[in-house]
Amino acid sequence: DFLTGILIADGRVTKRDLLKSSSWLFLSAIIYLVISWPTTDNGLSGLALNNDAIIISIILFITWISAIFIAKKVIPKLSQQTNKRLFVTISIVVNLTILAFFKYFNFFIDSAEQLIQSFGGDAALFHLNIILPVGISFYTFQTISYSIDIYRGKTNATHKFLDFALFVSYFPQLVAGPIERASNLMPRIIQKRQINLEQIKRGLTLIAWGLFKKVAIADGLAGSVNSIYNTTGNVSAPDIVLATFFFAFQIYCDFSAYSDIARGTSKLLGIELMRNFNLPYFAKDPSEFWRRWHISLSSWLKDYVYIPLGGNKKGTFITYRNLMLTMLLGGLWHGAAWNYILWGAYQGIILSIHRIFSSDAKVEQSSINSTLKIVLFFSITCYGWLLFRANSFEQISTFSSSLIYGWDDLSLSMKRPTLAAFLGLPILIMYECCEYKMQNIRFYKAIPTPFLALLLAIIFLIIFMGMSHPPAQFIYFQF
């Protein structure tokens, strides 16, 4: 992507650029593939060479040199615009191929298992024992946007490989976002950074707030949610409703907490990251929800999938087709499982339904209380989270049936949330209600200092209470 960015911008690559990128490529191959690092405590004495990896590295070298030779022959014969289209296409295809191979190969084999068996084959033979690279979903979309933005003229290509490498692998947001654009993050990396006391205070505040949401609330609700969604027996409708309600807050607190901690850590380094969540559960419709939830992904899908497909400019049928394709891709991005695809389809359907009725219902809905709209759409969102969290289609079917017909049993078998979650969730809801009402992200500055100090003391106390319970992995680490 470093090289394709230069080729898209300049139409040619200098020997210096080739040397830099090739050196890093083969140095990485030697460090990560050829050398077998010891897994014991015997220091460097356990170092060895991986013979298979040596062969792979030689093949990689031959392929790389061949690609450069072909490129040098082909590029001069093509027009500038054709060159740009060629290399942006190469960037997209190569990135998506790598993502599909590592993340979805086994999923497709599992899905085609019956077909393979019908021809007398064994699906297990096709499975690859591969490890998912850390953060692949996030940095793949980030590097694709880099190439496309250069092609569109929205950002410049960098000739400094380390600047590009830092943009791709910037550690605070590498494993769970936000998905940054080169036009936003690259200048902040390249330019001289100023770190002042106010920036440090805001960074530490974001980190503390993120820890509060993750350690106290998300981890405190995880056990309750798991006690229902991980069960193999029958559960009551109230159990399902309450567990799904808790999961809505678990996934929000878990994911937005990571974004807060990433943004806070980045502020301490003098780099601003975009806000990834903006009070999503105050949305009144699906369109507003996706302007508030995982903003970096939803805006990415809009700019690089929905609009290139034609957006809403090519007629009604094409518009709804584009909505469905975009949300199906968004669902598939979350993981190699059919329930994520079903969740994406659900989001596409409610977006389409909202688009159909929004223009006609605008006048009619203007008199409906805003709070009722928020509550109604939050209920619709929660059913989507049921699809997202469910372990199988069978569980989706069973839980959906119970929500309709299972109200004769009102017993609760769900594990109770921790005390940290029980105390922290009302504080979070009240805080976000105040922020929503005042439409000011820093409304807390108007709170008298003694009350603010008391609030911070309570938050830290609840964080320490939450630390006494078993931690849960960040949900979005698996994506």
Active-site residue numbers?
334
Q: Which residues contact 443 (CB under 8 A, 6 or more apart)?
A: 434, 435
Q: What angle do CA 374, 389, 324 make, to 5 degrees?
A: 65
Q: Give the tokens for residue 233.
A: 């027996």
381 within 8 A of 289, measured Cβ to Cβ: yes
162-167 contacts: CB < 8 A, separation 24 or more? 163/189, 163/190, 164/1, 164/2, 164/5, 165/2, 165/24, 167/142
CA diameter of the chain: 76
Residues present in the chain in total: 479
For residue 454, the surrounding DSSP H or E stretch is helix 449-466
7 within 8 A of 87, measured Cβ to Cβ: yes
Sign of CA dihedral 54, 57, 61, 62: positive
33 within 8 A of 53, measured Cβ to Cβ: yes
204 within 8 A of 190, measured Cβ to Cβ: no
Measured in Å, how far apart are the chain's first and last C-alpha atoms?
22
> Can you state the angle between helices 237-268 and 219-229, rounded to 10 degrees?
150
Q: What angle do CA 10, 13, 15 make, to 5 degrees?
A: 150
277 within 8 A of 259, measured Cβ to Cβ: yes
